[in-house]
Structure 1
Amino acid sequence: MSNPADPEAILNFPILIGDIGGTNARFAILVDAYAEPKQFPTVQTADFATIDEAIQTSILDKTSIMPRSAVLAVAGPVDGDEVKLTNCDWVVRPRAMFDNLGLEDIVVLNDFEAQALAVVALGEEHMVRIGGGEVEPEASRIVLGPGTGLGVAGLIHACHTWIPVPGEGGHMDLGPRSPRDFEVFPHLERIEGRISGEQILCGRGLVNLYRAVARAEGVEARLSTPAEITAAALDQSDAMATEAVSLFVVYMGRVAGDLALVFMSRGGVYLTGGIAQKIIPALKSPAFRQAFEDKAPHSAMLRDIPVFVITHPLAALTGLAAYARTPARFGVVTTDRRWRVDGSAMQ
């Protein structure tokens, strides 16, 4: 395991930082430790065959700044020299990037590690509180966000360092509980017979839920995109959409409460991503907190845990920039997740 306080953990500027999800990829360049990140327009992953092509065309061809290092956060587990994204066809091949992009040093993290780093890099002006008590400053925290998939990460404080804990928590089972759940769940699309959180709590999951509600009612599902469903729910122009978003909020509350129990996250639970931002009015309804806190015998503890919606549009890049500037501030393990052009690796 690498020691994040080791001078060898330092990255050489300029540093390319990237937040790569299933649908969108966002990039910026840090010229030095003091400059604000130079941001570039968001890239649609479907528009490019490879990540290398996207970086070359959308970033390097648009600037005279040539990054020496890169810190990339990807939506998928980091395992081996070929990192496959869960919800798009891109494969990150760091060793090929040395030749293709002229990089010398590459760190690849999970995308929700970056979101976890952002929790301590962002100020409260970039958050909306959804109930609960006060944050315990050095207590564990949880980040989860519905997007192309459902991302989950933990953040713990130990040895004077914030340590992100990546994982694939979005794929935990999610089951019916209420009488209405038992009417709707039989109509949900499954993956190999099971329903995970990600089958409901993401963009395509919201569409899945909307269609299931419509089938349970025996009516036609006339909407087909997450944006249409959230808009129709918020203006109450479609009863099925209104119920789908209401159920979405309840299920988000249940999952967030479960994760809060796993991590004893008295430092707060943080919801991130565009969907969470769009449905803040629904999240502020009593249903979310009721579902979040309904965890007997620990309901009293859950009532004290605050929940926040992160409203910063580029939160993950903010977290990556904080790590790239001062790696020693964070206990990010880079063993088998850092590649150098000279062949050395963090052990």
Structure 2
Amino acid sequence: MQNQNLEFPVLIGDIGGTNMRFSLILNQAGEQMAISTRKVNDFPTIEEAIHQTILPLIKAPLKSLFLAIAGPVTGEVIKLTNCNWVINPRHLMEEFGFNEVFIINDFEAQALSTIVLPQKYLEPIGPINTATDDTKVIIGAGSGLGIAGLTYLNGHYIPIEGEGGHIDFAPQSEEDFALYPFLKKIVGRVSAEELLSGRGLLNIYRAFCDMRGATPTIEVPEVITSEALTAHEQQAYDTVQFFINYLARLAGDFALVFKAEGGVYIGGGILPELLPLIDEDEFRQNFIHKQPHEKLLEKIPTFIITHPRAALVGMESYVHQPERFMLDMKGRFWVHSPK
């Protein structure tokens, strides 16, 4: 691990399965330009997205590209998990003249944000509303399910990337066991991401309908959440309650994995929309109910991240103060080599 001062101007981007968010950091003084959020599917490639949405806005040439992507960062050609984009750092340098390209996992970026986000963007769930610099966990459901850790060591924050969203779903309650046979399985298993994501909402909804002999009438996740918020459709309401309860349980699981005494932070695009349906006592009970370590979990705070561009906030903090952090650059940092 090492620190790296990125050369200005820096283009930072958060590329998820559904949305792309960019911002330009013009100089060390902090001048920047936010760029409106767009849908990934509006563009065939990241190159075309930059050509259409970034280049018309700038006058000076870009020097650095700092990306957070939804998926593991491996190899010279990187495939995102929940969209069709492929990212080739060397091709990006050739196409746009970047001197350097740095790519991290999107939930590493979310992890960085937890130490700089104003309190107004951290909605506490339960009675504990403050956090410490102890190890944290970040989990979030959107197009997929992201999970990362953040530890503090010798004056540096160190994000820990992972693919914990793909662990197995473990039925626990009577409702879980009743629903399990109706859940869509991939190669014989149900992963956490197949429940805690947009397509996960549809999976749960269809399972409830099949289990009860009801005809599914909803085809998109957004309608499930809107119907649940208005209590117009019973299966939709029960789907969202199942979703919230399982997310609380999984958050508690990862709090134990990391011994996250600094707090668990829940991001992603889905849960902030469901705030009116969250019963704080029930959420905390699902989070804590893990004998023999309930006493440990009772002391761990839980927060919902409500900032719509939290990953970019975390990345901006790194760009301006890289000395605060230790990020793994091996196989994730490319420098232009003149021919």
Same fold at TM > 0.5: yes
Unmatched runs of 5 consecutive residues or more in structure 2: none
CA contact (8 A) 2:10 2:24 kept: yes
Give the 3-state SS of the residue equivalent to 1:28 in structure 2: strand
Distance of 2:295 and 2:209 partners within structure 1: 36
Determine the structure 2 residue equivalent to 1:30. Answer: 25
Once the two structures are superposed, the pairs formed by residues 29-108 of structure 1 within 5 Å of their partners are 29-108=24-103
Q: In terms of mean alpha carbon deviation, does 302-311 or 278-287 score higher?
A: 278-287
- Pairwise mapping of residues 174-193 of structure 1 onto structure 2 (< 5 A)? 174-193=169-188
The equivalent residue for 1:279 is 274
Compute the displacement of 1:34 (Å). 2.6
For 2:189 and 2:330, the matched residues in 1 are separated by 33
**AA matched with 2:105:** N
- How many residues matched? 338
Once the two structures are TM-superposed, the CA of residue 177 in structure 1 deviates from its matched residue by 1.1
Distance 1:262 1:275 in 2: 24
1:297-330 Cα deviation digits (max 9, x unpaired): 1111111111100111110010111111121111
CA contact (8 A) 2:126 2:280 kept: no
1:108-123 equivalence runs, <5 A: 108-123=103-118
Quick one: which of 307, 313, 327 aligns to 1:332? 327
Match in the other structure for 2:257: 262
| Distance in 1 separating the partners of 2:57 and 2:129 | 45
Aligned to 1:3: 2
Work out whether residues 131 and 301 of structure 2, in 8 Å CA contact, stay in contact via their aligned partners in 1.
no
Q: How much has 1:287 moved relative to structure 2?
A: 2.4
Deviations 1:153-208 (A, max 9, x none): 00000111110000101001112111111111111111111111101001110111
Asked whether the equivalents of residues 16 and 143 of structure 2 are also in contact (C-alpha less than 8 Å), the reply is yes
C-alpha deviation, 1:151, in angstroms: 0.5
Q: Which moved more, 1:43-52 or 1:232-241?
A: 43-52
- Percent identity over the alignment is 42
Structure-2 separation of matches of 1:39 and 1:136? 29
Q: How does 1:114-153 map to 2 (within 5 A)?
A: 114-133=109-128, 135-153=130-148
For residues 53-89 of structure 1, what are the alpha-carbon distances to aligned partners after superposition, in whole Å with 9 as ceiling and x for unaligned? 1111111123224320011001111111111100111
Which TM-score applies when normalising by structure 2? 0.97
Cα distance in 2 for residues equivalent to 1:285 and 1:159: 35
How far off is 1:10 after superposition? 0.9
The runs of at least 4 consecutive aligned structure 1 residues that moved more than 4 Å come to: none
Partner of 1:316: 311
For residue 121 of structure 1, report the CA deviation from its aligned partner. 1.6
Q: Is contact 1:156–1:163 with CA below 8 Å preserved after alignment?
A: yes
Contact kept in structure 1, 2:107 and 2:147, CA below 8 Å: yes
In the TM superposition, residue 117 of structure 1 has moved relative to its aligned partner by: 0.5
Matched, 1:194 2:189: yes
2:298 maps to what in 1?
303
Contact 2:132–2:263, Cα closer than 8 Å, also in 1: no
Secondary structure at 1:121 match in 2: coil
Give the whole-Å Cα distance in 1 for the aligned partners of 2:31 and 2:237: 41
Alpha-carbon RMSD? 1.3
Structure 2 CA distance for aligned equivalents of residues 199 and 226 of structure 1: 13
Post-superposition offset of 1:132 = 4.6
What TM-score comes out, normalization by structure 1 length? 0.95
